[in-house]
Amino acid sequence: MISEIDATDECLTGQRLYGDDFGTAEIANWYKDEENAYFEQATAKNPESPNSDYPYEYAAFNRLHGGRSLAKRRFGTCVVLGCANGQDVKPLAGQVDKFVALEPAEKWWRTEIGGTPAEYLKPAITGDIPLPDGCAELAIAFGVLHHIPNVSHVVGELARVLKPAPPLSCVSRSSLWEIGAGHARA
């Protein structure tokens, strides 16, 4: 059995990812904590945020680090992890035929993002994505991977649903300390 100190050292040095070895019960507890957390945080700041185009504070960051390599390209289906009401991917709406959003907080769900059709799905606790292999031309995960305990499995699922050699854009805005907030860590 590995000590808590050794486990923490392995995570901090990149030898392993915290949460990748979680069992179903641990993942379910994490999911329960995260399911509506961002919705509650956002609506506490701005009660209109679920139903409006609220000022999205990370838009410039996403454009710089995630969107600039996607400019002037056209995509059929874009799978998005945890996009709330779609403000983070709205700038891509003119380049995408359809968004498929994996978003746990159903209060964010809508039928379109920036005028582009959107289908919202509840993420499976296991991290499995309920889509067929090779069905998407683009996958986006902006500032969400630190909310997922079994992140290696979920990123593998994104790769599975992508067609061969399409873009996968992942951007993280979280520091190590923010990643640990709200969760008991090793």
**Separation between Cα atoms, residue 116 and residue 168, nearest integer Å:** 20
Instruction: Give the per-residue pLDDT at 129.
Output: 96
* Domains (range + CATH), the chain: 4-52+59-180 (3.40.50.150)
Band (pLDDT 50/70/90 cuts) for residue 181 is very low
Q: Could you report the per-residue pLDDT of 39-86, keeping only the tens digit for each? A: 888 888 777 766 666 666 666 666 666 566 777 789 999 999 988 899
The proportion of the chain whose per-residue pLDDT surpasses 90, expressed as a percent, equals 37
Residue 182 predicted with pLDDT over 50 = no
Q: Which helix (H) or strand (E) holds 100?
A: strand 96-102
The pair of structure tokens assigned to 3 is 């000590």
**Separation between Cα atoms, residue 118 and residue 88, nearest integer Å:** 14
